[in-house]
Amino acid sequence: MNVYDSSRIADMLKNEGYEETLKQADADIVLFNTCHIREKAAEKLFSDLGRAHLIELERLEQTGKKTIIGVVGCVVQAEDNQIIKRAPFVDFALGPLMYHTIPEVLKKISLEKEHESYVNTDFPAVSKFDFLPENKAQGACSYLAIQEGCDNFCTYCVVPYTRGAEYSRPVAEVLKEARRLVDTGTLEINLLGQNVNSYHGEDENGKERNLAYLLNRVAEIDGLKRIRYTTSYPADMTDDLIECHKNIDILMPYLHLPIQSGSDKILKAMNRRHNSSDYLRIVEKLKKANPNIGMSSDFIVGFPGETDADFQATLDVVNEVKYIQAFSFKYSRRPGTPAAVMDNQVEEKVKKQRLDILQNLLFSYQDKFNQSCIGKVMPVLFDQKGRHKGQLIGRTPYMQNLHIKTDSANINKIINVEVTDATTNSLGGKEI
């Protein structure tokens, strides 16, 4: 979501006449887009800001040019004025629902005169999407936010507080943005939302529509070759959405469906609306709809009260589903969330041990799946140049990174590739 937000911010600043540079010393404005989901992500901001301030001072001394430093995103929403207290050189800070106001804020904060730091963490009544300029493709693969915020309030999670209440963009707006992405070079669209499958946007006649409807409409766009959607909440996997995995051939056979824990006791304490057997039933239905589907998940280890037996239940789910990819994290105590004040917190050492065990198991399945791809032919979308000359990197339908030696003219194309080698994290192949 942050990659998508950053690309919309870049579109907006380009409209204002700015150009992108990756070298800070050349930049009049430096922007940090931030994540608050785990403590580590939030802390990183302050060390990055410190570095940016040093370059700001050096630039001023050497060239006499001032720099505007801005922070946007979820850390701002959570920390509010604390950002300015900890880093007073920050010129402005905007929450994730306010970044459309950047051009306005820049008018207030001119480089020429002294100004107060500006902070805005409102949850506006009118959607920011109504104010953003026309989007452009982010490349052959583009993200498209269709839903934002969350009403689920899992007890460990900051999202409902930082991104606010759930909001779905209207169908027509999504289709317009999707068409523009395809017209400007996108072959693959990843529909995004913190809870994407609870999408309930209005159609052209004011009727509420779900994600299954939207996927079918997006699939009709001429020139679009691939669709994905991320991240889904298990309890919102409706039967018609599962059917899309059978009926929409450009919907990729890969689904990220976070279970978090395999223990029903922990899932309840997490306030998830599913237990482990509900989850396994959904996976079964998905595999029936498309026997080739590959599953992915998020896991949290060391949630308050997690015992060895609870952790074993998580490993049992992994052994049952055999994920082809996954993300796993140690539980991180987030201020303001109910789990942060639960009194049965798990020791850091235990969290680390469990994470190691879980990751080894997850990697073994990922590796097994990657090895099983050797000898298969897959359509791969190449959208990046590799480190070596003549090398391109692309994505298989299963989101695996695959590199080949090929003509650089093949960039931004889908090519059939025979997989020739595999590691846990990537594949190699040759054009056929």
The footprint of ligand SF4 (CB under 6 A) covers 150, 152-154, 157, 159-160, 194-195, 233
Nearer CB in complex with ligand SF4: 74/105? 74
Closest CB 41 distance from ligand SF4, rounded Å = 14
The number of beta carbons lying within 10 Å of the beta carbon of residue 50 is 12
Q: Does 282 bind ligand SAH (CB under 6 A)?
A: no
Contact criterion met (CB below 8 Å) for 36 and 76: no
- Does 273 sit near ligand SAH (CB under 6 A)? no
Please pick, from the candidates 10, 18, 24, 37, the single residue that binds ligand SAH as defined by CB under 6 A: 37
**226-230 β-sheet, strand order:** 141-145, 188-192, 226-230
- Least CB distance to ligand SAH at residue 432 (A): 37
Give, rounded to a whole angstrom, the gap between the first and last alpha carbons of the chain: 35
Given a contact cutoff of 8 angstroms between Cβ atoms, the answer to whether 145 and 195 are in contact is no
Q: For residue 353, what are the CA distances in angstroms to 274, 349, 350?
A: 26, 6, 5
Query: Nearest 10 degrees: CA dihedral of 227, 233, 238, 244?
Result: 10
- Shortest Å, Cβ 160 to ligand SF4: 5
Contact positions with ligand SAH (CB under 6 A) in 110-169: 156-157, 159
Minimum distance, C-beta of residue 329 to ligand SAH, in the bound complex (Å): 4
Among ligand SAH, ligand SF4, none, partner that 329 touches (CB below 5 to 8 angstroms by kind): ligand SAH
Between the alpha carbon of residue 337 and those of residues 94, 155, 161, the distances in Å are 22, 6, 9
- Tell me if 72 contacts ligand SAH by CB under 6 A: no
Query: In a 10 Å sphere around its CB, with 0-12 CB exposed, 13-18 middle and 19+ buried, how is residue 354 labelled?
Result: buried
CB-nearer residue toward ligand SF4: 234 or 394: 234
Nearest to 296 by CA among 309, 283, 285, 306: 283
Q: Cβ closer to ligand SAH: 117 or 232?
A: 232
The nearer residue to ligand SF4, 73 or 160, going by C-beta atoms, is 160
CB of 246 to ligand SAH, least distance (A): 23
With a CB cutoff of 8 Å and minimum separation 6, the contacts of 305 are 265, 266, 269, 342, 344, 346
Question: x/- contact string, 228-247, with ligand SAH (CB under 6 A)?
Answer: ---x-x--------------
Query: Taking CB under 6 A as the criterion, which residues in 315-344 touch ligand SAH?
Result: 329, 331-332, 334
Phi and psi torsions of 104, nearest 5°? -65, -45
Quick note: the x/- pattern for ligand SAH over 284-313, rule CB under 6 A, is --------------x-x-------------
**Least distance CB 172 / ligand SAH (angstroms):** 25
> Are 420 and 374 contacting, i.e. CB atoms less than 8 angstroms apart?
yes
Closest of 65, 59, 233, 87 to residue 150, by C-alpha? 233
Q: Print the binding letters for residues 171-210 with ligand SAH: x by CB under 6 A, - otherwise.
A: -----------------------xx---------------
From the list ligand SAH, ligand SF4, none, pick the one residue 186 interacts with, judged by a Cβ distance below 5 to 8 Å according to partner type: none
Residue 38, binding choice from ligand SAH, ligand SF4, none, Cβ under 5 to 8 Å by partner class = ligand SAH
Residues binding ligand SAH: number (CB under 6 A): 17
CB 366 within 8 A of CB 399: no
Phi, psi of 356, deg, nearest 5: -60, -45
Q: Three-state DSSP class for 372?
A: helix
The contact set with ligand SAH (CB under 6 A) reads 37-38, 156-157, 159, 194-195, 231, 233, 258, 260, 298, 300, 329, 331-332, 334
